[in-house]
Structure 1
Amino acid sequence: MGQIIENIGNISGKMLLFGGVYSNLQALEALKQIAEKENILPENCISTGDLVGYCAQPEETVELFKLWGAKSIVGNVEIQLRENAEDCGCDFREGSRCDDFSQQWYPYAQSKLSENSLDFLKTLPNHINFNYANKSVTVVHGSYFNVSEFIFKSTDWYNKKTNFEATKSDVIIAGHCGLPFHHQEENKIWLNPGVIGMPANDGSPNVWYVILNDWQESFKFTHHTLAYNYKLTSRLMRNGLLPKEYARTIVTGIWDNTEILPAFESGLQGFGIQL
Structure 2
Amino acid sequence: MDKKIKNIGSISGKVLLFGGVYSNLQALEKLKSIAENLNISPENCICTGDIVGYCAQPEETVQLFKLWGAQSILGNVEIQLREGAQDCGCDFREGSRCDGFSQLWYPYAQSKLSKSSIGFMAGLPNHIQFDYAGEKVVVLHGGYENVSEFIFKSTPWERKLINFETTQSDVIVAGHCGIPFHQTKDAKTWINPGVIGLPANDGEPHVWYAILNDDGGKLGFEHFSFDYNHKLTSKLMQNGLLPEEYSRTIITGIWDNTEILPPVESGLQGFGIQW
TM-score calculated relative to the size of structure 1:
0.99
Q: What letter is aligned with 1:30?
A: K
Q: What letter is aligned with 1:207?
A: V
Task: State the Cα deviation string for residues 55-113 of structure 1 (Å, max 9, x = none).
Answer: 00000000000000000000000000011001000000000000000000000000000
Structure 2 counterparts to residues 1-275 of structure 1, below 5 A: 1-275=1-275
Take 1:182 and 1:95, find their aligned partners in 2: how far apart are those partners? Answer: 31
Task: State the Cα deviation string for residues 13-70 of structure 1 (Å, max 9, x = none).
Answer: 0010000000000000000000001000000000000000000000000000000000
Aligned with 1:152: secondary structure? coil
4+ residue runs over 6 A deviation: none
Identity %: 72
State the Cα distance separating 1:274 from its structure 2 match.
Answer: 3.0
Take 2:274 and 2:257, find their aligned partners in 1: how far apart are those partners? Answer: 21
**Aligned CA-pair RMSD:** 0.5
Aligned with 2:169: secondary structure? coil
Take 2:36 and 2:108, find their aligned partners in 1: how far apart are those partners? Answer: 31
Take 2:3 and 2:167, find their aligned partners in 1: how far apart are those partners? Answer: 13
TM-score calculated relative to the size of structure 2:
0.99
Take 2:214 and 2:39, find their aligned partners in 1: how far apart are those partners? Answer: 14
Take 1:212 and 1:172, find their aligned partners in 2: how far apart are those partners? Answer: 12
State the Cα distance separating 1:123 from its structure 2 match.
Answer: 1.0
Aligned with 1:55: secondary structure? coil
Aligned residues: 275
Take 2:226 and 2:135, find their aligned partners in 1: how far apart are those partners? Answer: 27
Take 1:183 and 1:214, find their aligned partners in 2: how far apart are those partners? Answer: 18
Aligned with 2:152: secondary structure? coil
State the Cα distance separating 1:3 from its structure 2 match.
Answer: 1.0
Q: What letter is aligned with 1:267?
A: G
Unaligned 5+ segments in structure 1 are none
